[in-house]
Amino acid sequence: MQPRDTSCLFCAIAAGHVPCHAVYEDEHLLAFLDHRPLNPGHVLVVPKRHEPDFHRLASALYGALMQLAHRLGKCLAHLYQPPKVGLFVIGFHVPHVHVHVVPLYAMADMTAEAFERAQRTSPGVAVLVDSAAQIRHALAVMEDDDTPASGWHA
């Protein structure tokens, strides 16, 4: 795993060289709003170190990445009340692992056509600033009840 790829957009964002609407950051992970969201609240969760493929991440880092996606999914469910929160890893546009966590209202919200449509439109900066603030607040106040064994044996 390379620490940083100078041609990679998400490495530049993780290094603070390109601005983003961050909702969470720690030593290893960053979560920020997709600036071309499929729906409002569309978040990307990335490891800070460059790695193109999720299956090549160290398992502990992969676990932390997905646990953060899980927490964000709860926040998006709470804030947006969508019928589903989608989670997917694709990576054709930016070859640096990123987990999409997206409020979904219909299956068609996550098609290739929906991605292409989103690339041509952007919510205003004010909308992104507002969404990021709401998600940061939800992360701060919603209890993280993800103890490893909770519910496993229910």
Identity of the residue, 91 or 123, whose beta carbon is nearer to Zn ion in the bound complex: 91
12 binds Zn ion (CB under 5 A): no
**2 or 111: whose CB is closer to Zn ion?**
2
Residue entry with tokens 């292409």: 116
**132 binds Zn ion, rule: CB under 5 A:** no
Instruction: Tell me which long-range contacts 50-54 makes (C-beta under 8 A, separation of at least 24).
Output: 50/1, 50/2, 50/3, 50/4, 50/5, 50/8, 50/10, 50/11, 50/96, 51/1, 51/2, 51/96, 51/97, 52/91, 52/95, 52/96, 52/97, 53/91, 53/97, 54/89, 54/91, 54/97, 54/99
Question: Is residue 11 within the footprint of Zn ion (CB under 5 A)?
Answer: yes
Residue listed under structure tokens 């090549």: 56
Residue 91 lies near Zn ion (rule: CB under 5 A) = no
Closer Cβ to Zn ion, 21 or 96, answer by number = 96
> Structure tokens of 98?
């990123």
**96: contact with Zn ion by CB under 5 A:** yes
Q: Which of 5, 78, 114, 130 binds Zn ion (CB under 5 A)?
A: 5
> Per-residue contact track with Zn ion, 36 to 75, x per CB under 5 A?
--------------x-------------------------
Residues in contact with Zn ion by the rule CB under 5 A: 5, 8, 10-11, 50, 96
